[in-house]
Amino acid sequence: MPEPDVNLQEMENLMAGQPAKTNSGEQPKLSHPLNRERWKTHGNFKDNAKLSQALKKIGHEAPGWGKMTDVMREVYDQEMMKWSRILSGRSDYREHWEDIGGYNNLQLEDMR
């Protein structure tokens, strides 16, 4: 799997709400209505993808990654995807936060 193409400065820029260097931050020409709707809440997909991959990479390289179960790892990956949407899209979109809580609940249920 190729390394995510994000440096730390670019990650800081994305988290500060600045678009990725390769994107203008303007809505791209999206032909599918669902993609146009998601852009409003999730932000630019390329920004989202870069940030999501960079956040996942941090966890995957952490010392504790190998000690985690598959469920824990998937919860982490799904949450990082949601965090990338929060950071590159609308942070006040309630569904993002509900989903993060849902992933945490799935992990807690798996621990029972």
In a domain, 8, yes or no: no
In a domain, 38, yes or no: no
In a domain, 10, yes or no: no
Residues spanned by the domain of 66: 43-112
In a domain, 108, yes or no: yes
In a domain, 84, yes or no: yes
Into how many domains does the chain fold? Answer: 1
The predicted pLDDT at position 41 comes to 78
In a domain, 56, yes or no: yes
In a domain, 97, yes or no: yes
Over the chain (112 residues), what is each successive 10-residue block's mean pLDDT?
53 55 57 74 84 95 97 97 90 92 95 94
Task: Compute the chain's Rg from CA coordinates.
Answer: 15
Inter-helix orientation angle 33-42/70-88, to 10°: 90
